[in-house]
Amino acid sequence: MIKPDKLYELYLQTSQKFDYFMTGLSIAVFAYSVQSLDLSEYSSYLFLAPIAWIFLLISVIAGIVRIELSVTLNKSDAVIETMQMVKSKIDSNTVEKQKMDDLNKEITDLKEKQGEYIKYALWAYRINQIALLAGISLLGFLKVLNISK
């Protein structure tokens, strides 16, 4: 049976790889569509291509922001864990009572920041997915509209 710590570690690694994959996919679709789209062959609905490219760029930026937030969250997890280990070594009955209070406040502040980072990461994920699908859909729609003419 897999231990919960190991399972969480596997989840984090898989999540990071998926974020990298989706961001890479956004970059690849954007680059390929800009490079291969011959605007001279399209007679109508030409305005859809730049709109699709904007959506794909938004998807790339949101993916990069999500990756950055994931790294920041992992770093703050390590800092909180270290602070809690230091806190457990401080003797609360001695003069170091002030250090204990300071550490408790810092840990609380970091956990609040983590909550904000998680919200931002969730929004970045949603924006990444929606913008990628919108960009690919618009490019496909442009192709279909011009095939029928």
The pTM score is: 0.78
Locate tokens 């809690």: which residue?
Answer: 84
Q: Is residue 134 scored above 90 in pLDDT?
A: yes
What's the rounded Cα separation, in Å, for the pair 17 and 12?
9
> Is 87 buried (19+), middle (13-18) or exposed (0-12) by CB count in 10 A?
middle
Task: Check residue 148 and give its pLDDT.
Answer: 59
Confidence class for position 94, pLDDT limits 50, 70, 90:
low
3-state secondary structure the chain: CCCHHHHHHHHHHHHHHHHHHHHHHHHHHHHHHHHHCCHHHCCCCCCHHHHHHHHHHHHHHHHHHHHHHHHHHHHHHHHHHHHHHHHHHCCCCCCCHHHHHHHHHHHHHHHHHHHHHHHHHHHHHHHHHHHHHHHHHHHHHHHHHHHCC
Phi, psi of 100 (to 5 degrees): -65, -45
- Which residue type, as a one-letter code, is found at position 118? I
Q: What is the mean pLDDT of the chain?
A: 82
Average pLDDT of the residues in 78-104: 69
Higher pLDDT, 1 or 28: 28
